Amino acid sequence: MDDGWTQHGKVRAREGPDEGAVEIVVDGLTTQAKYYKPLIYEFFRKAWRGARPAWGEFAVEIRMEYVGDPPWMDLDNLAKAILDAIKGYAFHDDAQVARLLVERHPGERERILVNVRRVKA
């Protein structure tokens, strides 16, 4: 059964149920936020064949899940790296992000979950 996921290395993504929605999962964690920008950007450049960027306002939720002690990482740097990586694929410019939620939670595995959706007018 096809669940809609496209995968390349540690990154997988699929279009969400609503127009302009994208779910992204990055397996594993590192304390270097700058690591995520080229990793996610490369996924979109090489593997992504989903929706193209749209205009309008977007809400982005970034959730870091960790096992054990939380990693020592500035969440604002993580958010910037991810927004820079998905710019041009989920939306045209990160200035279109009207709502941004970045949080850290214990989880069953180490990963980063990103949900992008259009904000209803």
pLDDT one-digit tens code per residue, 69-89: 877 888 999 999 999 999 999
In this prediction, residue 52 has a pLDDT band, given cuts at 50, 70 and 90, of: confident
For residue 1, tell me if it sits in a domain.
Answer: no
- Residue 70 token pair: 């939380």
* Count of structural domains within the chain: 1
Residues near 95 by Cβ (< 8 Å), separated by ≥ 6?
A: none
For residue 40, tell me if it sits in a domain.
Answer: yes
What's the pTM? 0.92
Range of the domain at 97: 8-118
For residue 91, tell me if it sits in a domain.
Answer: yes
pLDDT at 1 > cutoff 50: no
CATH number of the domain encompassing residue 19: 3.30.1330.70
